[in-house]
A and B are shown apart, each in its own frame.
Chain A
Amino acid sequence: MSWMRRLLNTLRRRTLDREIEDELRFHVESRAADLQRGGMSALDAQREARRLLGNDVSLRDRTREADNWVWLETAFQDVRYAARTLWRAPVFAIAATLTLAIGIGANTAMFAVVYGVLIRPLPYADVDRLYALFQTSGRAGRTRVTPLDFVDLQAQVHSMRIAGLVGNGFTFTGQGDAELAIGHLVSGEFFDLLGAKPALGRTFGPADEAAGTNDLIVLSHRFWQRRFGGDPDIVGRTVTANSRSFTVVGVMKPDFSYQGARYQFWMPLPLRGANPDKLPINRNSRFVQVVAKLNAGVSRDAAAAELQSVAASLAQAYPATDRNISFVLSSLTEETVGGVRDALTLLGAAVLLLLLIACSNVTSLLLARFTKRRTEVLVRAALGASRGRLVRQFVIETLVLYSVGTAAGIVLAIVLLNLLRTIGPVSIPRVTDVGLVMPVLAVTCVTSLVAALVFGLLPALQATRGFSGSGMGTRTATVDRAHQRLRAAIVVAQIAVALCLLAGASLVARSLVNLQHVDKGFDPEGRVTFNVVLPAARFPDAPAMHAFYARLLDTIAARPEFTSVGTTTAFPLSGQDLENGFVVDGYAPPSPDQQPVAALRGVSADYTTAMGIPIRAGRALTPADDQRGAPVALVNETFVRRFFAGRNPIGGRISVGGPWRTVVGVVGDVRHRALATDARPEVLLPWVQLDDGFLTAWARGISFVVRSDLELAAAASLIRSQVRQLDANTPIIELQPVSALVDESVAEPRFRTFLLSSFALTSVCLAAVGIFGVLSYVVSERTREIGIRMALGARQRTIFWDVLTAGGSLVAIGTVLGLAGGVALMRWIRGLLFQVSPADPATLAGATLGLAVIALLAALIPARRATRVNPVIALRS
């Protein structure tokens, strides 16, 4: 318990001091009394008693040392002293604090994002056993699973449980305005698999599926709050969606979401036990997302092996479609956040470099400051302070500075994170959950502490060099030169690091520009898009859909304000897509089971005109290509290259399982999935010629594109009034300019570029401040020398160039190092670049030039100050 007594004693220092005082006084007085009894005079006795006791101060110190932790006590003193010194140097304190706050704040905010998105586990049970399951076959690569294969897979695998889900939009009516909301149709195992418990009521499960009750709905917490006012009696109520009635069985907890908060409800996916022949789909319609949970103790390899054997049995059972099929697993975490991992890692690395520059700037400032306090150090060393004691005091001063900087940095991080929530792209998964949670703050504090110790020790050691013991007389010039070398090295390192960051940011920015100017294959300008859904309850069969579709198209096209109007079943960059197997007449696949796969769209006759998609050969669709007309199709250039290699596609025949269709035209490639992704083979069929079964099952969502010179608001109200005239119960959804869709698709790269550029520019500024600081210090230290030289006739220009060259050589060395490092590092970010090489000479040259100019501008100010030195004043001082 001795440590506790010591701690207590440290805290009650004043009382302790008094007690020691009393005790020693008693000793002296008792001794003096004895001496007096032995015949000494009172005064002599007092003196002798004191002499016998020895050095009063040292004795008291040593006694106190036995009682408490003196180092802790002096640490308190040092902290107080440091606070006072910083208070007396406000300019230095503010500059250093701000620099640290920027570095630490940016790091804290960035780490909060990295932690929230990448590190924190997904909020599901046993995340390490959750996988996304994909199907691959032939050319199509990794795709979703066909519903028929899903049903078979579910029946045949034993090493895991799987759940299927399909995203779908439903129009909710009956309570307030008609509203289209997106949700997931999920198989019964879904909730159990994720370990998701409801907040109210229950979820549905395999039992409901077995009972054949499919008209159930589970609401997300937000949807329940927003649309149903948080009604506590919602469970058991009936809601109307797509004109069907669904019974609400439960409401999920607020923190539950799957693939983001935009999926607001869950309904049963009626696949199990369904009669495959009645499903209006074939084994080539791949649209079921599958999530798999391996049974406890099953390894990934074992699970993969079982999937292989199931695939083999499917291939045997359905040779026509499943010959080449296989299934692959990918960790759910990777699927969720894998897409942003590289970008976030890059940003994290960049912001760490920024912190490095910020800390080294503060170190440079501290070096200058501590060195200026040489007199203080000398005096204290003369009075017996050990070097360790002096070093400790300087380190504590740095710690105080970093503490203030960290506090300010955390405040800055709060601001930055709020900004992120407002302007950040919603496309980053889980970004809404990012916050300054305990682990983030802990990492921030530890990082700051480590940085303070590392970056504080250096100047402290430097400032106390040559003062220990007999080294008192070391010439100041030697110390100064070492100090200068250290600061110069810091500046060189800063320039190098800043250049790496700037080069990286420039490359990423170049990529963004390339991405924005890539040939999209269509023209987004002056066009508006919106979606309409034809619900099955109101349009039960193909004729009803055809009739309404024709009237809808006519009503909108009738307005002279709209130059052209088109529709498609899958709008570019909207995330909608559907791929299907084809037979191409005269095309022999490399192996018999590798059937061509292409994206399938049902479009209106004017779609290509309205979208500005060029016709490369043949003709566009016409109104004559209708139900009564001959079956026709348009294909894109990639389709031609792949399946009509060396042949004339016009007049060629393809089939989607139905009758042969004649290819009447070739359209230009459209970047459908993302601007950075090359086009895939694509087939455009007249919507009105789509097979009835396909139409009623998969072509109920129609995307319009309207070309018009009207303002967005005017176009929107005109479209709404036209549709309302025709039918008041059809909501217009997701109405927006096509250009907004394009913008949204580059939101994430744009945001990434913005962040990286901010980090890079901040680094460059800090590096410039570093150069400025060092050169200013050089000039102020050399004032006398410059004065002498000027008195001896040196020209101002010579002095000016002298200082500038000193700065310039630092910049030059830093640039060379930075370029070497940059070229090595840039390979690392190749995956984030688009149509620009990681060693792009123009970009690297631009970054170098930019940095050099800024750095030299920073050197200009001290250089000019040097020329203003007044020889008379300089020599007199």
Chain B
Amino acid sequence: MSKGSPSLPYGTLDLLVLRTLAGGARHGYGILLQIHDASSNLLRIEEGSLYPALHRLETSGLLKAEWMISDNNRRAKYYSLTAKGRRQLAEEERNWARVAEGVSRVLRFT
């Protein structure tokens, strides 16, 4: 992990993963890069936590996985959202917005 990148609050990883996959199927490495890019390298995912999280989301039925051929012509495991995953994403986004709003208000107030 490089210096200066804040550590993720607990539970945020799931949200980021779901959000990233809302744009279409990606493999694990792709998800990682996408998060880095989208956050302009502000957020860095600890690579070791990504795969357990992906497998957890898959077994709970939020993601489905498929082995496909990647851009560089290799076999890779592609994850995409299930219907349940989409619902979960919407819910977590709402939650996040409320939490973020609440936290920033508190920070402004004190």
**Residues of A contacting B74 with CB < 8 Å?**
26, 29-30
Give, as a whole number of angstroms, the nearest-CB distance from B2 to chain A: 10
Is the pair A62, B59 in contact by a Cβ cutoff of 8 Å? no
Which of A2, A9, A59 meets B51, CB within 8 Å?
Answer: A59
Chain A's closest residue to B46 (CB) is A54
Is the pair B77, A19 in contact by a Cβ cutoff of 8 Å? yes
**Residues of B contacting A5 with CB < 8 Å?**
59, 61
CA distance A55 to B46 in the complex (A): 12
CA distance A66 to B54 in the complex (A): 9
Is the pair A53, B48 in contact by a Cβ cutoff of 8 Å? yes
A546 on the interface (CB 8 Å rule)? no
CA distance A63 to B49 in the complex (A): 9
**Residues of B contacting A66 with CB < 8 Å?**
52-53, 55-56, 58-59
B108 on the interface (CB 8 Å rule)? no
Q: What range describes how many residues of A lie at the interface?
A: 20 to 34
CA distance A30 to B76 in the complex (A): 10
CA distance A633 to B35 in the complex (A): 117
Provide the A1-17 mask, 1 if CB < 8 A to any CB of B, else 0: 11001100100000000
**Residues of B contacting A55 with CB < 8 Å?**
48
Chain B's closest residue to A56 (CB) is B48
A33 in contact with B48 given A27-B28, A66-B55 (CB within 8 Å): no
**Residues of B contacting A62 with CB < 8 Å?**
48, 51-52
Which of A19, A24, A33 meets B72, CB within 8 Å?
Answer: A33
Provide the B85-104 mask, 1 if CB < 8 A to any CB of A, else 0: 00000000000000000000
A22 on the interface (CB 8 Å rule)? yes
Residue among A19, A24, A30 with most chain B CB within 10 A: A30
Chain B's closest residue to A55 (CB) is B48
Docked complex: A124-141 residues within 8 A CB-CB of B: none
**Residues of A contacting B76 with CB < 8 Å?**
23, 26, 30
Is the pair A67, B75 in contact by a Cβ cutoff of 8 Å? no
Is the pair A23, B51 in contact by a Cβ cutoff of 8 Å? yes
CA distance A802 to B72 in the complex (A): 81
Which of B46, B47, B61, B70 meets A26, CB within 8 Å?
Answer: B70
B60 on the interface (CB 8 Å rule)? yes
Provide the B26-63 mask, 1 if CB < 8 A to any CB of A, else 0: 01110000000000000000111001110110111100
Chain B's closest residue to A31 (CB) is B29
Is the pair B47, A54 in contact by a Cβ cutoff of 8 Å? yes
Is the pair B77, A30 in contact by a Cβ cutoff of 8 Å? no
CA distance A20 to B51 in the complex (A): 9
CA distance A26 to B72 in the complex (A): 11
Give, as a whole number of angstroms, the nearest-CB distance from B61 to chain A: 6
A67 in contact with B55 given A29-B74, A33-B72 (CB within 8 Å): yes
CA distance A54 to B46 in the complex (A): 9
**Residues of B contacting A52 with CB < 8 Å?**
47
Give, as a whole number of angstroms, the nearest-CB distance from A55 to chain B: 7
A840 on the interface (CB 8 Å rule)? no
CA distance A64 to B60 in the complex (A): 14
A-B complex: 7 closest residue pairs judged by Cβ atoms: A54-B48, A66-B55, A66-B56, A62-B52, A30-B29, A63-B51, A23-B77
Given A1-B61, A66-B52, 6 new contacts (CB under 8 A) = A20-B51, A20-B55, A26-B28, A26-B77, A58-B48, A63-B52
Interface residues of A (CB under 8 A from B): 1-2, 5-6, 9, 19-20, 22-24, 26-27, 29-31, 33, 52-55, 58-59, 62-67
Q: What are 15 A-B interface contacts by the 8 Å CB criterion?
A: A2-B59, A5-B61, A23-B77, A26-B27, A26-B28, A26-B70, A27-B51, A30-B72, A30-B74, A33-B72, A53-B47, A54-B48, A58-B48, A59-B48, A65-B52
